Amino acid sequence: MMWAGRVFRAALSGAPRCHRAQSALAQLRGILEEELEGIRGAGTWKSERVITSRQGPRIHVDGTSGGILNFCANNYLGLSSHPEVIQAGLQALEEFGAGLSSVRFICGTQSIHKDLEAKIARFHQREDAILYPSCFDANAGLFEALLTPEDAVLSDELNHASIIDGIRLCKAHKYRYRHLDMADLEAKLQEAQKHRLRLVATDGAFSMDGDIAPLQEICCLASQYGALVFVDECHATGFLGATGRGTDELLGVMDQVTIINSTLGKALGGASGGYTTGPGSLVSLLRQRARPYLFSNSLPPAVVGCASKALDLLMESNAIIQSMAAKTQRFRSKMEAAGFTISGANHPICPVMLGDARLASCMADDMLKRGIFVIGFSYPVVPKGKARIRVQISAVHSEEDIDRCVEAFVEVGRLHGALP
């Protein structure tokens, strides 16, 4: 009976706590539903379409019949489904296994990781390179490890979210200059002269607008004011510049950019993975202090194999780069002739500027009905009033694919009043 009494009293004492927990959960659900309803009401809800095939210029999408032309992947060179890239991934999987079950410094470094890092450094003409699970992680790891409260970082206001988040993690003094505004950058550099190190941080190509950083002017100002230059090349590596080295090659400043971060998940195979490349001593420091490197599992061997083969193909020939540039120009010129406003210049990111979030979403849905996969972008991914459909050209699109996409845009644009 004494035991039964203890159980009864415990049940009674637990009841209020259980009730409070349920009440807190109900409160949380109410807050979340209100927030989600606000997103729906603003027309900025982001639905995820399900692809049931491999990535490529033509894909299969759940809920649709037949093949769909894909115009919104970062598959710039079409290498994500290249047979040699896939075979290299299979070979690495067979030889080195599915994964390392470890971080790099414990027991997660294989010979293929070191080989790929050396290949990346050679490709960018830098001293060394370090791999990360993603370029988001590379940006998260760099600034905190490199910069101290004695230093300063100067960042373009439209830099990628991963750069912004990475800068937030460091204790350096933070300056933000107006987008591509060199007069404002110079003013900020003058103000930052009192700090030990000064690092100018910019995207090479800005992914939402397709515009390119004026690296010649940035490097000139950096030299004048004793600053270093960091460039995120995720939307440039593999296809900008004569041999695809990126915006620093395109603009002739490869010897003036100190640090490059980029990705393996776009042009270089399209899987995942990122890296930092630059001075050997910096890479050594990152191996000791970069938290995303120290506390994340090693890149899977199949990903490493695919990326390594993608680099090989790129370094063998620049024919793919030239093909993509010609198709980009074809799309841009035809869309502008039809009356659309296309942001950026000469970049395969071709934002079709629409302004209204709901219009962008509805037009993207109607494009899918016509066999074209594109996505509307709106706040908070882009500023309010700057909604667009971001079209991305791939080297493996045919000219007929380009023309069909333009024709669908014209038809849908007229349907929704975006064109007369």
Is pLDDT at 10 greater than 70 in this prediction? Answer: no
Q: Last residue of a domain, which of 316, 350, 370?
A: 316
Give the per-residue pLDDT at 9.
53
Query: Can you give the residue range of the structural domain that contains 98?
Result: 83-316
Q: How many domains does the chain have?
A: 2
The contacts of residue 173 (CB under 8 Å, 6+ apart) are: 149, 151, 152, 153, 192, 195
- 136 and 263 in a single domain? The answer is yes
Cis geometry, peptide bond prior to residue 301 (ω within 30 degrees of 0) = no
The predicted model gives 56-63 an average pLDDT of: 93
What are the pLDDT digits (tens) for 308-350?
A: 999 999 999 888 898 999 999 999 999 999 999 999 988 999 9
Q: Tally Cβ neighbours within 10 Å of residue 42.
A: 13
Q: Last residue of a domain, which of 286, 316, 346?
A: 316
What is the full DSSP assignment across 118-139?
HHHHHHHT-SEEEEES-HHHHH
Answer with the residue of higher pLDDT: 110 or 66: 110
Q: Last residue of a domain, which of 275, 297, 316?
A: 316
Q: Tally Cβ neighbours within 10 Å of residue 406.
A: 20
- The whole-angstrom separation of Cα 106 and Cα 114 is 15
What are the pLDDT digits (tens) for 376-396?
A: 998 888 888 999 999 999 999
Q: Tell whether 40 is covered by a domain.
A: no
What is the pTM (predicted TM-score) of this model? 0.91
Q: Write the CATH number for 352.
A: 3.90.1150.10
Q: Write the CATH number for 236.
A: 3.40.640.10
Give the per-residue pLDDT at 4.
53
Give the per-residue pLDDT at 284.
98
Active site residues: 207, 235, 266
- 309 and 326 in a single domain? The answer is no
Give the per-residue pLDDT at 275.
98
Q: Tell whether 16 is covered by a domain.
A: no
